[in-house]
Amino acid sequence: MHAASSAMPLDPALDNECINTLRFLSVDAVQKADSGHPGLPMGAAAMAYVLWTRFLKHNPANPEWFDRDRFVLSPGHGSMLLYSLLHLTGYDLPLEQIKRFREWGSMTPGHPERGMTPGVETTTGPLGQGFGNGVGLAMAEAHLAACYNLQMAGEGRGLRGYALHQIAIADDPIGEMIDDLGAGPFQQAMHGKLPDGWDRDIPAFPPDTKGMATRVAAGKVMNAVAPRLPALIGGSADLNPSTHTALSGLGDFEPAGVTVLDKQGAVDGVWSYAGRNLHFGVREHGMGAILNGLAAHGGAVPFGATFLIFSDYMRPPIRLAAMMKLHVIYVFTHDSIALGQDGSTHQPVEQLAGLRAVPGLTVIRPGDANEAAVAWRVALEAGDHPVALILTRQNVSTLDRTQCAAADGLRQGAYVLADAPNGKPDVILIASGSEVELVMAARQILQERNIGARVVSMPSWDLFDAQPRSYRDQVLLPSIHARLAVEAGASQGWHRYVGDGGDVLGVDRFGASAPGDVVMREYGFTAENVCKRALAVLG
Protein backbone atom coordinates (compact mmCIF):
# COMPACT_ATOMS: atom_id res chain seq x y z
CA MET A 1 0.00 0.00 0.00
CA HIS A 2 1.12 3.51 -0.73
CA ALA A 3 -0.17 5.84 1.97
CA ALA A 4 1.09 9.29 1.12
CA SER A 5 2.07 11.50 4.03
CA SER A 6 2.45 15.24 4.43
CA ALA A 7 5.42 14.43 6.70
CA MET A 8 7.36 13.10 3.71
CA PRO A 9 10.84 14.73 3.69
CA LEU A 10 11.19 17.61 1.26
CA ASP A 11 13.84 17.51 -1.44
CA PRO A 12 13.16 20.38 -3.85
CA ALA A 13 15.61 19.14 -6.45
CA LEU A 14 14.10 15.65 -6.47
CA ASP A 15 10.59 17.08 -6.48
CA ASN A 16 11.38 19.19 -9.55
CA GLU A 17 12.89 16.22 -11.33
CA CYS A 18 9.81 14.12 -10.62
CA ILE A 19 7.47 16.88 -11.76
CA ASN A 20 9.37 17.34 -14.99
CA THR A 21 9.39 13.58 -15.52
CA LEU A 22 5.59 13.63 -15.30
CA ARG A 23 5.44 16.54 -17.71
CA PHE A 24 7.70 15.18 -20.39
CA LEU A 25 6.59 11.57 -20.20
CA SER A 26 3.13 12.94 -20.95
CA VAL A 27 4.35 15.28 -23.69
CA ASP A 28 6.43 12.55 -25.33
CA ALA A 29 3.42 10.22 -25.44
CA VAL A 30 1.25 12.92 -27.01
CA GLN A 31 3.99 13.70 -29.52
CA LYS A 32 4.43 10.05 -30.48
CA ALA A 33 0.69 9.59 -30.93
CA ASP A 34 0.51 12.85 -32.88
CA SER A 35 -2.76 13.31 -31.00
CA GLY A 36 -3.82 14.50 -27.59
CA HIS A 37 -3.53 17.44 -25.22
CA PRO A 38 -0.16 18.29 -23.63
CA GLY A 39 -1.31 21.51 -21.96
CA LEU A 40 -3.00 20.04 -18.91
CA PRO A 41 -0.14 17.67 -18.01
CA MET A 42 2.32 20.53 -18.37
CA GLY A 43 0.30 22.90 -16.22
CA ALA A 44 -1.05 20.49 -13.59
CA ALA A 45 1.95 18.20 -13.07
CA ALA A 46 3.18 19.98 -9.93
CA MET A 47 -0.24 19.93 -8.27
CA ALA A 48 -0.79 16.29 -9.23
CA TYR A 49 2.65 15.26 -7.97
CA VAL A 50 2.04 16.81 -4.54
CA LEU A 51 -1.44 15.28 -4.33
CA TRP A 52 -0.30 11.79 -5.27
CA THR A 53 2.87 11.69 -3.18
CA ARG A 54 1.82 13.59 -0.05
CA PHE A 55 -1.94 13.20 0.34
CA LEU A 56 -3.49 10.42 -1.73
CA LYS A 57 -3.98 7.05 -0.03
CA HIS A 58 -3.92 4.27 -2.59
CA ASN A 59 -2.49 0.83 -3.33
CA PRO A 60 -0.91 0.30 -6.77
CA ALA A 61 -0.74 -3.45 -6.10
CA ASN A 62 -4.48 -3.56 -5.41
CA PRO A 63 -6.27 -0.78 -7.31
CA GLU A 64 -9.66 -2.01 -6.02
CA TRP A 65 -8.65 -1.74 -2.34
CA PHE A 66 -11.80 -0.35 -0.82
CA ASP A 67 -10.30 2.15 1.61
CA ARG A 68 -8.48 3.99 -1.14
CA ASP A 69 -8.93 7.64 -1.94
CA ARG A 70 -10.75 8.06 -5.27
CA PHE A 71 -9.04 10.27 -7.84
CA VAL A 72 -11.21 11.50 -10.70
CA LEU A 73 -9.74 13.45 -13.61
CA SER A 74 -12.77 15.44 -14.74
CA PRO A 75 -10.97 17.11 -17.69
CA GLY A 76 -10.47 13.75 -19.38
CA HIS A 77 -8.68 15.25 -22.37
CA GLY A 78 -5.66 15.54 -20.05
CA SER A 79 -5.61 11.76 -19.65
CA MET A 80 -1.88 11.46 -20.28
CA LEU A 81 -1.21 13.12 -16.92
CA LEU A 82 -3.19 10.38 -15.18
CA TYR A 83 -1.47 7.62 -17.14
CA SER A 84 1.95 9.05 -16.24
CA LEU A 85 0.98 9.19 -12.57
CA LEU A 86 -0.26 5.61 -12.64
CA HIS A 87 2.86 4.36 -14.41
CA LEU A 88 5.34 6.17 -12.19
CA THR A 89 3.61 5.25 -8.91
CA GLY A 90 3.68 1.53 -9.66
CA TYR A 91 0.36 0.54 -11.18
CA ASP A 92 0.25 -2.24 -13.74
CA LEU A 93 0.61 0.17 -16.63
CA PRO A 94 3.94 -0.57 -18.32
CA LEU A 95 5.92 1.93 -20.38
CA GLU A 96 4.99 0.03 -23.53
CA GLN A 97 1.36 1.04 -22.95
CA ILE A 98 2.38 4.68 -22.50
CA LYS A 99 4.12 4.46 -25.86
CA ARG A 100 0.87 3.16 -27.37
CA PHE A 101 -1.21 6.13 -26.19
CA ARG A 102 -4.40 6.41 -28.26
CA GLU A 103 -3.60 3.28 -30.29
CA TRP A 104 -5.88 0.33 -31.06
CA GLY A 105 -6.08 -2.14 -28.17
CA SER A 106 -3.91 -0.12 -25.77
CA MET A 107 -4.61 0.49 -22.08
CA THR A 108 -4.20 4.23 -22.65
CA PRO A 109 -7.24 5.51 -24.60
CA GLY A 110 -7.70 9.16 -25.51
CA HIS A 111 -9.88 9.81 -22.45
CA PRO A 112 -9.76 7.72 -19.25
CA GLU A 113 -12.06 4.70 -19.38
CA ARG A 114 -13.16 2.74 -16.32
CA GLY A 115 -12.26 -0.92 -16.52
CA MET A 116 -9.59 -0.44 -19.18
CA THR A 117 -6.72 0.99 -17.12
CA PRO A 118 -5.85 0.00 -13.52
CA GLY A 119 -6.41 2.98 -11.24
CA VAL A 120 -8.96 4.77 -13.42
CA GLU A 121 -12.12 5.24 -11.35
CA THR A 122 -14.54 6.65 -13.91
CA THR A 123 -14.81 7.37 -17.61
CA THR A 124 -14.50 11.12 -18.11
CA GLY A 125 -14.43 13.58 -20.97
CA PRO A 126 -17.89 15.09 -21.46
CA LEU A 127 -17.77 18.37 -19.55
CA GLY A 128 -18.90 18.27 -15.95
CA GLN A 129 -19.28 14.51 -15.71
CA GLY A 130 -16.13 13.83 -13.70
CA PHE A 131 -16.96 16.44 -11.08
CA GLY A 132 -20.47 15.04 -10.73
CA ASN A 133 -19.00 11.53 -10.42
CA GLY A 134 -16.80 12.83 -7.61
CA VAL A 135 -19.84 14.15 -5.76
CA GLY A 136 -21.52 10.76 -6.19
CA LEU A 137 -18.44 8.95 -4.90
CA ALA A 138 -18.42 11.28 -1.89
CA MET A 139 -22.11 10.74 -1.21
CA ALA A 140 -21.69 6.97 -1.36
CA GLU A 141 -18.82 7.16 1.11
CA ALA A 142 -20.77 9.38 3.50
CA HIS A 143 -23.92 7.25 3.21
CA LEU A 144 -22.17 3.94 3.83
CA ALA A 145 -20.29 5.38 6.79
CA ALA A 146 -23.49 6.72 8.33
CA CYS A 147 -25.33 3.44 7.77
CA TYR A 148 -22.60 1.10 8.97
CA ASN A 149 -21.29 3.26 11.82
CA LEU A 150 -17.81 3.65 10.38
CA GLN A 151 -15.51 6.53 11.25
CA MET A 152 -15.05 9.31 8.75
CA ALA A 153 -12.72 12.20 8.27
CA GLY A 154 -14.13 14.88 6.00
CA GLU A 155 -12.06 16.15 3.14
CA GLY A 156 -13.00 18.59 0.40
CA ARG A 157 -11.91 18.09 -3.12
CA GLY A 158 -12.89 19.69 -6.41
CA LEU A 159 -11.68 19.48 -9.99
CA ARG A 160 -13.60 21.13 -12.76
CA GLY A 161 -16.80 21.09 -14.73
CA TYR A 162 -20.38 21.74 -13.70
CA ALA A 163 -19.19 22.58 -10.18
CA LEU A 164 -22.15 24.71 -9.12
CA HIS A 165 -24.51 22.27 -10.82
CA GLN A 166 -23.50 19.43 -8.54
CA ILE A 167 -22.02 21.09 -5.45
CA ALA A 168 -25.46 22.52 -4.66
CA ILE A 169 -26.71 18.96 -4.23
CA ALA A 170 -24.20 17.48 -1.78
CA ASP A 171 -21.79 19.51 0.43
CA ASP A 172 -19.00 17.38 -1.13
CA PRO A 173 -18.71 14.98 1.84
CA ILE A 174 -15.61 13.08 0.75
CA GLY A 175 -14.66 10.66 3.49
CA GLU A 176 -12.21 7.97 4.39
CA MET A 177 -13.50 4.75 5.87
CA ILE A 178 -11.63 2.71 8.45
CA ASP A 179 -10.14 -0.66 7.52
CA ASP A 180 -12.76 -2.71 9.36
CA LEU A 181 -15.37 -2.98 6.64
CA GLY A 182 -18.02 -4.51 8.86
CA ALA A 183 -20.01 -7.68 8.52
CA GLY A 184 -22.21 -9.44 6.02
CA PRO A 185 -24.70 -6.81 4.83
CA PHE A 186 -21.98 -4.29 4.03
CA GLN A 187 -19.78 -6.78 2.18
CA GLN A 188 -22.83 -8.12 0.37
CA ALA A 189 -23.67 -4.62 -0.82
CA MET A 190 -20.07 -3.95 -1.85
CA HIS A 191 -20.09 -7.06 -4.01
CA GLY A 192 -23.35 -6.03 -5.65
CA LYS A 193 -25.29 -9.01 -4.31
CA LEU A 194 -28.98 -8.84 -3.50
CA PRO A 195 -29.85 -10.03 0.03
CA ASP A 196 -31.95 -13.15 0.53
CA GLY A 197 -35.65 -12.35 0.46
CA TRP A 198 -35.19 -8.90 -1.06
CA ASP A 199 -38.25 -9.41 -3.30
CA ARG A 200 -40.45 -11.14 -0.74
CA ASP A 201 -42.89 -8.26 -0.38
CA ILE A 202 -43.34 -7.29 -4.03
CA PRO A 203 -47.10 -7.13 -4.54
CA ALA A 204 -49.15 -9.03 -7.09
CA PHE A 205 -51.76 -6.68 -8.50
CA PRO A 206 -55.32 -8.05 -8.96
CA PRO A 207 -57.18 -7.62 -12.24
CA ASP A 208 -58.72 -4.17 -12.55
CA THR A 209 -60.19 -2.58 -15.65
CA LYS A 210 -59.67 0.87 -14.14
CA GLY A 211 -56.13 -0.12 -13.20
CA MET A 212 -53.40 2.28 -12.24
CA ALA A 213 -50.58 4.18 -13.88
CA THR A 214 -47.43 2.11 -14.19
CA ARG A 215 -45.56 4.94 -12.39
CA VAL A 216 -47.85 4.35 -9.38
CA ALA A 217 -47.41 0.58 -9.52
CA ALA A 218 -43.64 0.97 -9.81
CA GLY A 219 -43.64 3.26 -6.77
CA LYS A 220 -45.46 0.61 -4.74
CA VAL A 221 -42.90 -1.97 -5.82
CA MET A 222 -39.97 0.27 -4.88
CA ASN A 223 -41.39 0.83 -1.42
CA ALA A 224 -42.00 -2.89 -0.97
CA VAL A 225 -38.40 -3.67 -1.88
CA ALA A 226 -36.51 -0.81 -0.22
CA PRO A 227 -36.73 -1.98 3.43
CA ARG A 228 -35.18 -5.31 2.44
CA LEU A 229 -32.59 -3.81 0.08
CA PRO A 230 -30.46 -1.31 2.02
CA ALA A 231 -28.35 -0.52 -1.06
CA LEU A 232 -31.29 1.09 -2.91
CA ILE A 233 -30.85 4.86 -2.80
CA GLY A 234 -31.92 7.67 -5.10
CA GLY A 235 -34.34 10.43 -5.87
CA SER A 236 -35.79 12.60 -8.57
CA ALA A 237 -35.21 15.91 -10.28
CA ASP A 238 -37.61 17.64 -7.89
CA LEU A 239 -40.52 15.47 -9.07
CA ASN A 240 -41.15 12.84 -6.38
CA PRO A 241 -44.92 13.47 -6.18
CA SER A 242 -45.17 12.97 -9.95
CA THR A 243 -42.70 10.12 -10.41
CA HIS A 244 -43.77 8.27 -7.24
CA THR A 245 -40.17 7.54 -6.31
CA ALA A 246 -39.99 8.67 -2.67
CA LEU A 247 -38.85 5.86 -0.37
CA SER A 248 -41.30 6.28 2.49
CA GLY A 249 -39.85 6.34 5.99
CA LEU A 250 -36.26 5.97 4.81
CA GLY A 251 -35.15 9.53 5.43
CA ASP A 252 -33.42 12.30 3.56
CA PHE A 253 -29.72 12.42 2.66
CA GLU A 254 -28.78 15.67 4.37
CA PRO A 255 -26.15 16.87 6.87
CA ALA A 256 -27.15 15.82 10.38
CA GLY A 257 -27.54 18.58 12.94
CA VAL A 258 -28.37 21.27 10.41
CA THR A 259 -31.53 23.16 11.31
CA VAL A 260 -33.81 23.61 8.30
CA LEU A 261 -37.03 25.54 8.86
CA ASP A 262 -38.61 24.72 5.50
CA LYS A 263 -38.39 21.01 4.72
CA GLN A 264 -40.74 21.12 1.77
CA GLY A 265 -40.41 17.91 -0.19
CA ALA A 266 -38.72 16.03 2.65
CA VAL A 267 -39.53 12.36 3.17
CA ASP A 268 -40.24 11.08 6.66
CA GLY A 269 -37.38 9.37 8.51
CA VAL A 270 -33.84 10.32 9.45
CA TRP A 271 -32.33 13.65 8.40
CA SER A 272 -28.70 12.64 7.91
CA TYR A 273 -26.30 10.99 5.50
CA ALA A 274 -28.01 7.71 6.41
CA GLY A 275 -31.10 8.94 4.54
CA ARG A 276 -31.85 7.18 1.28
CA ASN A 277 -33.87 9.89 -0.50
CA LEU A 278 -31.65 12.21 -2.51
CA HIS A 279 -32.92 15.67 -3.41
CA PHE A 280 -31.28 16.59 -6.71
CA GLY A 281 -33.38 19.63 -7.51
CA VAL A 282 -34.14 20.42 -11.14
CA ARG A 283 -30.74 19.15 -12.24
CA GLU A 284 -31.07 16.10 -14.49
CA HIS A 285 -27.54 16.49 -15.89
CA GLY A 286 -26.01 16.63 -12.42
CA MET A 287 -28.29 13.87 -11.16
CA GLY A 288 -27.08 11.47 -13.85
CA ALA A 289 -23.42 12.17 -13.14
CA ILE A 290 -23.92 11.71 -9.39
CA LEU A 291 -25.77 8.41 -9.95
CA ASN A 292 -22.74 7.19 -11.88
CA GLY A 293 -20.45 8.14 -9.01
CA LEU A 294 -22.65 6.31 -6.51
CA ALA A 295 -22.64 3.19 -8.67
CA ALA A 296 -18.90 3.38 -9.39
CA HIS A 297 -18.14 3.57 -5.67
CA GLY A 298 -19.91 0.33 -4.87
CA GLY A 299 -22.30 -0.49 -2.06
CA ALA A 300 -25.20 1.43 -3.61
CA VAL A 301 -27.84 0.67 -6.23
CA PRO A 302 -28.77 4.21 -7.30
CA PHE A 303 -31.90 5.32 -9.12
CA GLY A 304 -32.88 8.67 -10.58
CA ALA A 305 -36.28 9.81 -11.79
CA THR A 306 -37.73 12.48 -14.04
CA PHE A 307 -40.19 12.81 -16.91
CA LEU A 308 -39.19 10.94 -20.06
CA ILE A 309 -39.00 14.19 -22.04
CA PHE A 310 -36.26 15.43 -19.70
CA SER A 311 -34.11 12.35 -20.24
CA ASP A 312 -32.55 14.46 -23.01
CA TYR A 313 -30.79 16.51 -20.33
CA MET A 314 -29.20 13.29 -19.05
CA ARG A 315 -27.83 11.91 -22.30
CA PRO A 316 -24.12 12.27 -21.41
CA PRO A 317 -24.32 10.47 -18.03
CA ILE A 318 -26.66 7.78 -19.39
CA ARG A 319 -24.23 7.09 -22.20
CA LEU A 320 -21.31 6.98 -19.77
CA ALA A 321 -23.20 4.65 -17.42
CA ALA A 322 -23.62 2.24 -20.32
CA MET A 323 -19.95 2.58 -21.31
CA MET A 324 -18.83 1.90 -17.73
CA LYS A 325 -21.34 -0.96 -17.25
CA LEU A 326 -22.68 0.69 -14.10
CA HIS A 327 -25.75 -0.58 -12.28
CA VAL A 328 -27.87 2.57 -12.45
CA ILE A 329 -31.67 2.56 -12.70
CA TYR A 330 -33.55 5.36 -14.44
CA VAL A 331 -37.25 5.91 -13.78
CA PHE A 332 -38.76 7.92 -16.63
CA THR A 333 -42.46 8.71 -16.28
CA HIS A 334 -45.07 10.61 -18.33
CA ASP A 335 -43.96 8.49 -21.25
CA SER A 336 -46.06 9.60 -24.24
CA ILE A 337 -48.44 12.07 -25.82
CA ALA A 338 -51.05 10.63 -23.43
CA LEU A 339 -49.72 12.90 -20.66
CA GLY A 340 -52.06 15.44 -22.21
CA GLN A 341 -52.48 19.14 -21.65
CA ASP A 342 -48.88 20.16 -21.01
CA GLY A 343 -48.62 19.81 -24.76
CA SER A 344 -45.91 19.08 -27.28
CA THR A 345 -43.07 20.61 -25.24
CA HIS A 346 -43.57 17.94 -22.56
CA GLN A 347 -44.83 15.04 -24.66
CA PRO A 348 -42.00 12.64 -25.57
CA VAL A 349 -41.90 11.35 -29.12
CA GLU A 350 -38.34 10.53 -30.16
CA GLN A 351 -36.93 9.98 -26.63
CA LEU A 352 -37.82 6.30 -26.43
CA ALA A 353 -36.13 5.54 -29.75
CA GLY A 354 -33.09 7.54 -28.64
CA LEU A 355 -32.72 5.57 -25.41
CA ARG A 356 -33.11 2.27 -27.26
CA ALA A 357 -30.21 3.32 -29.49
CA VAL A 358 -27.74 3.48 -26.55
CA PRO A 359 -25.58 0.32 -26.56
CA GLY A 360 -25.67 -1.50 -23.24
CA LEU A 361 -28.75 0.29 -21.87
CA THR A 362 -31.74 -1.97 -21.24
CA VAL A 363 -34.99 -0.10 -21.88
CA ILE A 364 -38.24 -1.54 -20.46
CA ARG A 365 -41.73 -0.13 -21.02
CA PRO A 366 -44.15 -2.29 -18.99
CA GLY A 367 -47.77 -2.65 -20.06
CA ASP A 368 -49.53 -2.91 -16.70
CA ALA A 369 -48.92 -2.99 -12.94
CA ASN A 370 -47.70 -6.59 -12.87
CA GLU A 371 -45.31 -6.01 -15.75
CA ALA A 372 -44.04 -2.98 -13.81
CA ALA A 373 -43.31 -5.26 -10.86
CA VAL A 374 -41.34 -7.68 -13.03
CA ALA A 375 -39.56 -4.75 -14.67
CA TRP A 376 -38.26 -3.63 -11.27
CA ARG A 377 -37.09 -7.19 -10.55
CA VAL A 378 -35.17 -7.24 -13.83
CA ALA A 379 -33.69 -3.79 -13.16
CA LEU A 380 -32.45 -4.72 -9.70
CA GLU A 381 -31.04 -8.05 -10.90
CA ALA A 382 -29.18 -6.41 -13.82
CA GLY A 383 -25.96 -5.91 -11.86
CA ASP A 384 -23.56 -4.88 -14.62
CA HIS A 385 -25.44 -2.39 -16.78
CA PRO A 386 -27.96 0.47 -16.55
CA VAL A 387 -31.71 0.00 -16.98
CA ALA A 388 -34.34 2.58 -17.97
CA LEU A 389 -37.94 2.01 -16.87
CA ILE A 390 -40.48 3.87 -19.03
CA LEU A 391 -43.75 4.47 -17.16
CA THR A 392 -47.16 6.01 -17.82
CA ARG A 393 -48.76 9.05 -16.29
CA GLN A 394 -52.28 7.76 -17.01
CA ASN A 395 -54.02 4.69 -15.64
CA VAL A 396 -53.85 1.47 -17.62
CA SER A 397 -55.87 -1.68 -17.00
CA THR A 398 -54.34 -4.34 -14.80
CA LEU A 399 -54.76 -7.41 -16.96
CA ASP A 400 -56.40 -10.60 -15.72
CA ARG A 401 -53.48 -12.98 -15.75
CA THR A 402 -55.79 -15.99 -15.47
CA GLN A 403 -57.01 -15.07 -18.95
CA CYS A 404 -53.63 -14.22 -20.48
CA ALA A 405 -49.97 -15.09 -19.98
CA ALA A 406 -48.07 -14.35 -16.79
CA ALA A 407 -46.27 -11.01 -16.53
CA ASP A 408 -42.98 -12.84 -15.93
CA GLY A 409 -42.80 -13.16 -19.70
CA LEU A 410 -41.37 -9.63 -19.58
CA ARG A 411 -38.04 -11.21 -18.70
CA GLN A 412 -37.77 -12.41 -22.30
CA GLY A 413 -38.48 -8.92 -23.61
CA ALA A 414 -41.57 -10.02 -25.56
CA TYR A 415 -44.07 -12.80 -25.08
CA VAL A 416 -47.41 -14.05 -26.36
CA LEU A 417 -49.87 -12.32 -24.07
CA ALA A 418 -53.00 -13.71 -25.74
CA ASP A 419 -53.31 -15.90 -28.82
CA ALA A 420 -55.85 -16.65 -31.50
CA PRO A 421 -58.37 -19.24 -30.29
CA ASN A 422 -56.83 -22.04 -32.34
CA GLY A 423 -53.24 -20.92 -31.85
CA LYS A 424 -53.05 -20.05 -35.55
CA PRO A 425 -53.31 -16.28 -35.87
CA ASP A 426 -54.09 -14.39 -39.04
CA VAL A 427 -52.36 -11.27 -37.75
CA ILE A 428 -49.90 -10.46 -34.98
CA LEU A 429 -50.46 -7.31 -32.92
CA ILE A 430 -47.36 -6.07 -31.07
CA ALA A 431 -47.39 -3.35 -28.44
CA SER A 432 -45.60 -1.96 -25.41
CA GLY A 433 -46.69 0.05 -22.40
CA SER A 434 -50.10 1.68 -22.40
CA GLU A 435 -50.85 0.44 -25.91
CA VAL A 436 -51.00 -3.20 -24.74
CA GLU A 437 -54.55 -2.81 -23.42
CA LEU A 438 -55.43 -1.09 -26.69
CA VAL A 439 -54.38 -4.04 -28.85
CA MET A 440 -56.06 -6.43 -26.43
CA ALA A 441 -59.33 -4.58 -27.09
CA ALA A 442 -58.67 -4.69 -30.83
CA ARG A 443 -58.02 -8.43 -30.64
CA GLN A 444 -61.49 -8.94 -29.18
CA ILE A 445 -63.12 -6.92 -31.96
CA LEU A 446 -61.20 -8.83 -34.65
CA GLN A 447 -62.13 -12.13 -33.05
CA GLU A 448 -65.81 -11.17 -33.30
CA ARG A 449 -65.16 -10.74 -37.03
CA ASN A 450 -63.63 -14.25 -37.21
CA ILE A 451 -60.10 -12.88 -37.57
CA GLY A 452 -57.60 -14.52 -35.28
CA ALA A 453 -55.12 -12.13 -33.69
CA ARG A 454 -52.12 -12.89 -31.54
CA VAL A 455 -51.17 -10.15 -29.05
CA VAL A 456 -47.50 -9.85 -28.25
CA SER A 457 -46.48 -7.65 -25.36
CA MET A 458 -43.00 -6.31 -26.16
CA PRO A 459 -41.80 -4.20 -23.23
CA SER A 460 -38.10 -4.50 -24.08
CA TRP A 461 -36.41 -4.82 -27.44
CA ASP A 462 -33.07 -5.36 -25.71
CA LEU A 463 -34.24 -8.35 -23.69
CA PHE A 464 -36.07 -9.84 -26.68
CA ASP A 465 -33.10 -9.48 -29.03
CA ALA A 466 -30.96 -11.35 -26.48
CA GLN A 467 -33.20 -14.44 -26.72
CA PRO A 468 -32.30 -17.37 -28.97
CA ARG A 469 -33.72 -17.37 -32.46
CA SER A 470 -35.95 -20.34 -31.61
CA TYR A 471 -37.77 -18.35 -28.91
CA ARG A 472 -38.09 -15.24 -31.05
CA ASP A 473 -39.62 -17.31 -33.84
CA GLN A 474 -42.10 -18.86 -31.40
CA VAL A 475 -43.32 -15.39 -30.48
CA LEU A 476 -43.19 -13.71 -33.89
CA LEU A 477 -44.11 -16.58 -36.19
CA PRO A 478 -42.02 -16.29 -39.39
CA SER A 479 -44.97 -17.63 -41.39
CA ILE A 480 -47.18 -14.70 -40.38
CA HIS A 481 -46.27 -11.59 -42.38
CA ALA A 482 -49.36 -9.61 -41.37
CA ARG A 483 -48.04 -7.75 -38.31
CA LEU A 484 -48.91 -4.42 -36.72
CA ALA A 485 -46.82 -2.73 -34.04
CA VAL A 486 -48.57 -0.13 -31.89
CA GLU A 487 -46.66 2.33 -29.70
CA ALA A 488 -47.26 5.99 -28.81
CA GLY A 489 -43.75 7.02 -29.81
CA ALA A 490 -41.55 7.30 -32.87
CA SER A 491 -41.99 4.39 -35.26
CA GLN A 492 -38.25 4.22 -35.90
CA GLY A 493 -36.89 0.73 -35.22
CA TRP A 494 -40.18 -1.15 -35.14
CA HIS A 495 -39.97 -2.17 -38.78
CA ARG A 496 -37.45 -4.91 -38.06
CA TYR A 497 -40.13 -6.67 -36.00
CA VAL A 498 -43.06 -6.19 -38.36
CA GLY A 499 -41.13 -6.90 -41.58
CA ASP A 500 -41.95 -5.81 -45.11
CA GLY A 501 -45.51 -7.07 -44.87
CA GLY A 502 -46.27 -5.26 -41.64
CA ASP A 503 -47.08 -1.76 -40.47
CA VAL A 504 -46.46 0.52 -37.47
CA LEU A 505 -48.96 2.75 -35.72
CA GLY A 506 -46.67 5.26 -34.04
CA VAL A 507 -46.10 8.97 -33.53
CA ASP A 508 -43.83 10.61 -36.07
CA ARG A 509 -44.78 14.22 -35.39
CA PHE A 510 -44.91 16.33 -32.25
CA GLY A 511 -47.85 16.21 -29.87
CA ALA A 512 -50.58 18.69 -28.99
CA SER A 513 -52.15 20.31 -25.95
CA ALA A 514 -55.42 18.64 -25.01
CA PRO A 515 -56.63 16.04 -22.52
CA GLY A 516 -54.58 12.88 -22.90
CA ASP A 517 -57.42 10.67 -24.13
CA VAL A 518 -58.31 13.25 -26.75
CA VAL A 519 -54.74 13.48 -28.02
CA MET A 520 -54.50 9.68 -28.22
CA ARG A 521 -57.78 9.48 -30.14
CA GLU A 522 -56.78 12.20 -32.58
CA TYR A 523 -53.45 10.45 -33.21
CA GLY A 524 -55.22 7.21 -34.08
CA PHE A 525 -54.74 5.27 -30.87
CA THR A 526 -58.17 3.66 -30.67
CA ALA A 527 -59.20 0.03 -30.84
CA GLU A 528 -61.18 0.76 -33.99
CA ASN A 529 -58.21 2.27 -35.77
CA VAL A 530 -55.95 -0.58 -34.67
CA CYS A 531 -58.48 -2.96 -36.27
CA LYS A 532 -58.55 -0.85 -39.44
CA ARG A 533 -54.75 -0.92 -39.69
CA ALA A 534 -54.70 -4.66 -38.96
CA LEU A 535 -57.20 -5.34 -41.73
CA ALA A 536 -55.04 -3.27 -44.08
CA VAL A 537 -51.96 -5.45 -43.50
CA LEU A 538 -54.12 -8.52 -44.06
CA GLY A 539 -54.89 -7.15 -47.54
Q: Which residues are catalytic?
A: 284
Strands of the sheet with 427-431, listed across from one edge: 415-418, 453-457, 427-431, 483-486, 503-505
**Residue 65: phi, psi to the nearest 5?**
-50, 125
Taking the C-alpha atoms of residue 377 and residue 389, their distance in angstroms, rounded to an integer, is 11
DSSP classification of residue 155: B
Number of neighbouring beta carbons within 10 Å of residue 381: 13
Taking the C-alpha atoms of residue 277 and residue 273, their distance in angstroms, rounded to an integer, is 10
DSSP classification of residue 404: S
Q: What share of the chain is helix, strand, coil (3-state, %, to 5)?
A: 40, 10, 45
Integer angstrom CA distances of residue 482 from 132, 320, 339, 392, 430: 49, 39, 31, 28, 11
DSSP classification of residue 506: -
Integer angstrom CA distances of residue 424 from 96, 455, 470: 63, 12, 18
Taking the C-alpha atoms of residue 311 and residue 22, their distance in angstroms, rounded to an integer, is 40
Number of neighbouring beta carbons within 10 Å of residue 348: 27
What is the separation of C-alpha 476 from the centre of its chain, rounded to a whole number of angstroms?
29
Judge contact between 207 and 216, C-beta under 8 A: no
Judge contact between 327 and 384, C-beta under 8 A: yes
Beta strand residue intervals within 376-491, DSSP E? 387-390, 396-398, 415-418, 427-431, 453-457, 483-486
User: Among 539, 527, 460, which residue's Cα sits nearest to residue 502?
Assistant: 539
Taking the C-alpha atoms of residue 434 and residue 395, their distance in angstroms, rounded to an integer, is 8
Taking the C-alpha atoms of residue 460 and residue 436, their distance in angstroms, rounded to an integer, is 13
